[in-house]
A and B are shown apart, each in its own frame.
Chain A
Amino acid sequence: AQSVTQPDIHITVSEGASLELRCNYSYGATPYLFWYVQSPGQGLQLLLKYFSGDTLVQGIKGFEAEFKRSQSSFNLRKPSVHWSDAAEYFCAVVLSMDSSYKLIFGSGTRLLVRP
């Protein structure tokens, strides 16, 4: 079955430390890949997306993600976490053959930031 997996339910990092959030997908072809962030009381906000081309993608708020076809992964990274990054992060895909462009989300990773 087609799926998006975020294996870490919670991650806690210290402010200023680096961050990597994992995302794996299982599809026959390369999907379009997205990372969204959801803060309490806020709507989902797009951090970055990958459709094709350079496999290292830069996003907003200092985030980046790398697409690795061999590992079916699209991990999100940030070199230095700020307290304001505490939120829920969702990896999502769109099947490239799906004309509706509907998003298929993982179950999310909650990031906690220690002062």
Chain B
Amino acid sequence: GAGVSQTPSNKVTEKGKYVELRCDPISGHTALYWYRQSLGQGPEFLIYFQGTGAADDSGLPNDRFFAVRPEGSVSTLKIQRTERGDSAVYLCASSRGTSDTGSEQFFGPGTRLTVL
């Protein structure tokens, strides 16, 4: 079956521009996560959706970052006024839920964002 997909796989933009990164979770997965992985580091949590609502956005670094999941499936991570420090791989993951048995997160291949 289809896994988590992310588009685009690579995005190069200029400082100050706006970007959108898309995540298609596994069908039927209600929980969706965004993480950011900088070079040589482990992924860092950004935001968690349960259904359509952002249940935990404590990892968003500032108000330039925003994410939506309007129909409880596809999610878009939006970054305004990009900065060079935003360059990283953005990972999306989904899971069936947040109970012990349903909590395994399945990761997409990521979007590599480069801000020039």
Contact = CB atoms under 8 A, between A and B. Distances in A.
A43 B108 contact: yes
Contact of B98 (A43, A99, A104, A107): A99
Interface stretch (B13-21, B40-48, B69-77, B80-88): B40-48
Q: Sort chain A's interface into a size bin.
A: 20 to 34
Contacts of A44: 43, 91, 93, 107
Q: Sort chain B's interface into a size bin.
A: 20 to 34
A90 B44 CA distance: 12
Interface in B1-59: 3-4, 31, 33, 35, 40-45, 48, 50, 55-56, 59
A104 B109 contact: no
Contact of A94 (B41, B103, B106): B103
Contacts of B44: 105
A103 B105 contact: yes
Contacts of B56: 100, 102
23 contacts: A4-B42, A32-B100, A32-B103, A43-B3, A43-B110, A44-B43, A46-B104, A46-B105, A90-B42, A90-B43, A92-B42, A100-B48, A100-B55, A100-B56, A101-B31, A101-B95, A102-B59, A103-B43, A103-B45, A105-B43, A105-B44, A108-B41, A108-B42
Interface of A: 4, 32, 36, 41-46, 49, 51, 90, 92, 94, 99-108
